[in-house]
Structure 1
Amino acid sequence: MGIRHRKFSIGTLLVIVGSLTGAVLGNYLWQQQRSQLPLQTTAAALNPPPGATLPIFSQAIQTDNDNFITTVVAKVSPAVVKVDATESVSQNPTSDRSIDKSTTADSARRTLRERTEKGTGSGLILSADGRIVTNAHVVDGTDRVKVTLQNGRVLAGKVVGIDRVTDVAVLKVAAKDLPTVKLGDSERLLPGEWAIAIGNPLGLDNTVTVGIVSATGRSSSQVGVPDKRVSFIQTDAAINPGNSGGPLLNGRGEAIGITTATRADAQGVGFAIPMRTVTRITTQLFATGKVRHPYLGVQMIPLTAELQAGIAKEPSLRSKLTAKRGAIVTEVVAGSPAETAGILPGDVIIQVAGRPISTPSDVQQQVEASTIGENLKLQLDRQGRVRSLEIKPDLFPPTAADFEPGR
């Protein structure tokens, strides 16, 4: 008897970093003011004689508007560009004979007329010779791209390649000595680190927003884009339409990701593609114009505590599922590497390439890091028995991954 496919709502836990009470905050500000008073007046100011006039603190405090955020923005902004994409599609799908008689001559001409679609986003210059990264959804299907630098210089850009699976695209402009930015290590990110986003949201060029890294390792399902293969960075730095493709920076001014998405049902929650993923994808796109993604051919759900509790109440399932963690296979695609290797619905994947598995996202990450056509080791829990097998990932279906510029 197969395992029943159930859907569960997974709530997102918000981590509250701690807050200062009004008394503590007030004491802190008082200490700051005291420390910035001129030394010769501090004692008199804090212990004034009878009838003396107290100094005005705002006149004694030394003000300095410089901070690490302005330093980062000044250093990185020249490498952030505005991307305007235009697609021209000659629409002539029908002849005069196929136009319905009820259609007016004007509407028929509009049907045959060239249709223009426009998209606007942001981008990041990766090399001084004009290599730029942005989001795939910003330039998907375009054949003309206009790239505007911070100083107002406008360059014609060519779409080199698009990877819809990760929402990454690369452009090339004919230029030299362009400003660039240092890339950071997104694998070492910790929640609570500074996050600075620069882009062109809602058509407002060169906009800077600041927040923190709220979380790392958010799955595509959690973000609401289950068709993507990305483990996202979550941030509370404001991200809006037009930010897409712009950099997410740390406090040192290093690009740790490319902003890509917001959830329509949430406020103050944005996401970015980690720079480790961006680098891997852009390298392939600049080299060949496409990305080869490994593929197993399984659909999975996580073995959560809630699901385990439900299974424990079903006598027919209790003895058949003994794993405490892993990803449950709910469907195996016909003709896929998974079917060839003997994976069955109901199997619990507990290990891939020697790494323990807790969620489908864990499986996805290990498969993405594998090599097409080479053996990948898996461990399964099948009705209480652990089985080891090898599987050869195949090329991800090309309809989802390939891109031909100009189409």
Structure 2
Amino acid sequence: MKLSVKQLVVYLFLVAVGGGGGVFGSRYFLPQHHSFQELENVTVALPPEAVVPYPIDGATNSTKSDNVNFIATAVQKVGSAVVRINATRKVANPIFGAFDNSMLKRFFGEDEEPIPSERIERGTGSGFILSANGQLLTNAHVVDNTDTVQVTLKDGRTFDGKVVGIDTITDVAVVKIAADNLPTVKLGNSQNLIPGQWAIAIGNPLGLDNTVTIGIISATDRTSAQVGVPDKRVSFIQTDAAINPGNSGGPLLNTQGEVIGINTAIRTDAQGLGFAIPIETAARIAHELFTKGKAEHPFSGIEMAELSPAKKQELNQKKQLNIQLDVSFAIKGIVANSPAQKAGLLIGDVIQKINGKPIKSLAQAQKIIEFSTVGDILTIEVHRNGKTQIFKIRSGTYPHK
């Protein structure tokens, strides 16, 4: 094969700098926050030839009745409503302008840029159909800041998707496609999950469409801080069902084939740990996004911390407090000019009740506040310096950065 001088120069230049184009890596659309350093985004980037297409006719292998277990039955109820989402966006080329292009311009001319200033990134995630008229649910990081979104159904049909709304605080997004009479999922209940229950994940890991994995519910009510994403407002479901790059936005099912969560993230420093957004949170946010185009989150301005004996001692010393109760958490920060500060709450206060409900965990407190409405009055009972005090807070709107 003969190369022109121009082709040879560009080829040698790209080899010398390690290349600058191509698809994005496993951290595609990963927000560059310190809080995400321990997480690997589960959106995967693949070359087009590596994506395995759905069967055009949607046919599945026939199975004998003695081979159909509860997993297969659950998957058959939902599988046709799980979709692949391909997204593209333009990003700045990291090698553009990094080197002196004067030599290259001798071959290409002064008006021609040998290295493009932008490149196209492509990513693949998952989603599922909520309504027969084409309303879809997925993760925000799958479609955030995208230029195009393409949705592929299990039967092979492909549609252009319109991103109706994105909520980065919960990592939930909704997409609409122009179609009717679509298969839909059935939403379940995640409020009464017990560790040890079966959990089934469906998605498109590594571009392998409609892949099914099975595991158990490992834990519930994992706080955002525990998972490593303190800027989020979610009490996560933890599962050991295999969740890999490309599973983002796919459903987590119970044994009845009902959706109990959205698979969203895996830790890079561990194996067998996956996390899902509870379906109640996702459905509530999806409804707001479809009806209003945005989601509002109640804001109190309270930052709480779990208290080990060492943490309690550190908080007492640094803040000159006297936390003596055998408690597991306390207020460690109050946002300036927030509803909590205006109501009179202080660092070191130990929250005992919210709206009359005894608080036994950070996740419980977070959930009560999150499921309230902007403008609601929260009655908070705290223990301070040996005394019980009650404060009333009118929740504000969570400040978007």
TM-score between both structures, scaled by the size of structure 2: 0.76
Q: Quick check: 1:355 aligned with 2:357? A: yes
Percentage of pairs with the same residue:
53
Q: 1:362 to 1:306 in 2, by over 3 A?
A: farther
Q: How far apart are the structure 2 equivalents of 1:81 and 1:100?
A: 40
1:28-177 equivalences under 5 Å are 64-88=66-90, 102-104=100-102, 105=105, 109=113, 113-177=117-181
More off after superposition, 334-343 vs 241-250? 334-343
Q: 1:290 aligns with which of 290, 294, 302?
A: 294
Q: How far apart are the structure 2 equivalents of 1:211 and 1:313?
A: 42
1:260–1:271 CA contact under 8 A, matched in 2: yes
Q: 1:333 aligns with which of 332, 335, 339?
A: 335
1:197–1:237 CA contact under 8 A, matched in 2: yes
Secondary structure, in 3 states, of the residue corresponding to 2:71? helix
* Structure 1 segments unaligned to the other structure (5+ residues): 1-61, 400-407
2:315–2:332 CA contact under 8 A, matched in 1: no
Q: Which residue of 1 aligns with 2:263?
A: 259
Q: How far apart are the structure 1 equivalents of 2:136 and 2:114?
A: 36
Deviations 1:208-257 (CA, angstroms, capped at 9, x unpaired): 10111111111111212111111111111100110010011111111111
Q: Which residue of 2 aligns with 1:227?
A: 231
Secondary structure, in 3 states, of the residue corresponding to 1:381? strand
More off after superposition, 278-287 vs 370-379? 370-379
Residue 312 of structure 1: how far off its partner (Å): 12
Q: 1:346 to 1:223 in 2, by over 3 A?
A: same
Q: How far apart are the structure 2 equivalents of 1:394 and 1:110?
A: 52
For the pair shown, the structure with the greater C-alpha radius of gyration is 1
Residue 307 of structure 1: how far off its partner (Å): 4.5
Q: 1:288 to 1:151 in 2, by over 3 A?
A: same
Q: How far apart are the structure 2 equivalents of 1:289 and 1:326?
A: 38
Q: Which residue of 2 aligns with 1:204?
A: 208
Deviations 1:127-163 (CA, angstroms, capped at 9, x unpaired): 0000000011111111311000111111110000111
Q: How far apart are the structure 1 equivalents of 2:377 and 2:291?
A: 25
More off after superposition, 225-234 vs 66-75? 66-75
Q: Which residue of 1 aligns with 2:380?
A: 378
Q: 1:116 to 1:388 in 2, by over 3 A?
A: same
Q: How far apart are the structure 2 equivalents of 1:185 and 1:101?
A: 56
Q: How far apart are the structure 2 equivalents of 1:81 and 1:378?
A: 43
Residue 329 of structure 1: how far off its partner (Å): 1.8
Q: How far apart are the structure 2 equivalents of 1:63 and 1:264?
A: 40
1:327–1:350 CA contact under 8 A, matched in 2: no
Q: 1:69 to 1:338 in 2, by over 3 A?
A: same
Residue 326 of structure 1: how far off its partner (Å): 5.4
Q: How far apart are the structure 2 equivalents of 1:166 and 1:128?
A: 25
1:303–1:324 CA contact under 8 A, matched in 2: no
More off after superposition, 321-330 vs 186-195? 321-330
Q: How far apart are the structure 2 equivalents of 1:180 and 1:115?
A: 36
More off after superposition, 327-336 vs 280-289? 327-336
2:186–2:258 CA contact under 8 A, matched in 1: yes
Q: Which residue of 1 aligns with 2:390?
A: 388
* Structure 2 segments unaligned to the other structure (5+ residues): 1-63
1:79–1:179 CA contact under 8 A, matched in 2: yes
Secondary structure, in 3 states, of the residue corresponding to 1:398? coil
Residue 324 of structure 1: how far off its partner (Å): 2.8
Residue 204 of structure 1: how far off its partner (Å): 1.2
Residue 90 of structure 1: how far off its partner (Å): 8.7
Aligned Cα root-mean-square deviation (Å):
2.7
TM-score between both structures, scaled by the size of structure 1: 0.75
* Counterpart residue identity of residue 361, structure 2: T
Q: How far apart are the structure 2 equivalents of 1:363 and 1:188?
A: 17
Q: 1:312 to 1:258 in 2, by over 3 A?
A: closer
* Counterpart residue identity of residue 258, structure 1: I
Q: How far apart are the structure 1 equivalents of 2:308 and 2:356?
A: 21
Residue 373 of structure 1: how far off its partner (Å): 2.1
Q: 1:384 to 1:71 in 2, by over 3 A?
A: same
Q: How far apart are the structure 1 equivalents of 2:87 and 2:368?
A: 34
1:268-347 equivalences under 5 Å are 268-304=272-308, 307=311, 310=313, 320-325=322-327, 327-347=329-349
* Counterpart residue identity of residue 73, structure 1: V
